[in-house]
Amino acid sequence: MDQTEARKSRHLDICLDDDVASRADAGFSGIRLRHEALPEFALEDVDTRVLFLGHQLRAPLLISSMTGGTERAGTLNRNLAIAAEEAGIALALGSQRAAIENAALLSTYDVRSVAPNVMLFANLGAVQLNYGVRIDDVRKTIAAIGANGLFLHFNPLQEALQSGGDTNFRGLEGKIRALCSALDVPVLAKGVGSGMSPSTARRLIAAGVRGIDVAGAGGTSWARVEGKRTDDPMRERLAESFGDWGYPTASATARMRAEFPTAKIIASGGLRSGVDIAKAIAIGADLCGIGLPFLEAATQSADAVRALIDEYLTGLRIAQFASGSRSLAALRDAVVA
């Protein structure tokens, strides 16, 4: 097992077995939706459909980027893909750096055989454009898995906490602009558990990205993940000191929508219920991403993933019904100040 593959496998073990939750609160408990005692429509009338980048989804839910690059990860990705396909929601794969470095690992990301119609996102760390990954590498990887879009993730804190991490973020804007221009699929920018500021988002949108996944603080802390991975006590203490770092997801989502009224905004980081999804949509998200709970379900079976999707979407439908929001758009008027 090479270094990248071993790191991906260790990340899975840590996320599944250790407490790596951010010490920051995602912020959804502070958002209130109205209670409508007389909705004037039936629960069965609630509409959760959303059109996202030209793709019709049955609900505004994305299984967030998590894994790939190991045989075990391939099984998890297939379980996730089977359930996402059946539910009509979107799926993002984990970083495909491993497959670019070793083509034999590409099969661990290949889910089209079980999910021919799912809206599928490839994924790559933006900093890898400074470490030998070429536009043609990205294009070939996207084509090989039949992805409908690409997430570029931005993880300077995580890289800085890794021993020997990739920390040269110089000159990336021009490379991102060139990548966005060269690809035939939309590129979205994604934080990694610490969020993203509107000023950074503005630069990325100017470079050609079509949307922002805030990936805020409140879910998995990748600083804490790296701390659990190290054998160096000093580096673990250092990582723990960043355990509450970043912008809480709820406030980051609302601010991003206020700054960019027409951009595609994804809320992820600490959403743990259908009510959280409803609140995120109400404050401006177009789509909601959830990661770790789906990873835990995928270790069991595709059926376990299906059941979790159903739980989230049932909660979303009830939240819409109880707030008098027949459509997702109507949720935008349901926030109680």
Q: Kindly state the average pLDDT of the residues 102-126.
A: 95
Distance separating alpha carbons of residues 269 and 195, to the nearest angstrom: 8
* Residue 297 reports pLDDT greater than 60: yes
Under 8 Å between Cβ of 180 and 208: yes
pLDDT for the residue numbered 78: 96
Does the reported pTM lie above 0.85? yes
Tokens of 311: 């739980």
What domain range includes position 259?
A: 3-336
Total tally of structural domains belonging to the chain: 1
Instruction: Render the burial of 106-143: b for 16+ CB within 10 Å, e for the rest.
Output: bebbbbbebbeebbbbbbbbbbbbbeebeeebbbebbe
Beta bridge partners of 288: 61, 267
DSSP state of 248: B
Q: Over 60: is that where the pLDDT of 31 sits?
A: yes
Looking up residue 176, the CATH number of its domain turns out to be 3.20.20.70
| Rounded Cα–Cα distance for residues 98 and 114 (Å) | 22
- Contact of 127 with 159, CB cutoff 8 Å: yes
Res 19: pLDDT: 81
Q: What is the mean pLDDT of residues 13-36?
A: 89
Cβ contact 2:224 at 8 Å:
no
CA 282, CA 107: separation in Å to the nearest integer? 38
State the helix-helix crossing angle for 3-17 and 71-87, rounded to 10 degrees: 60
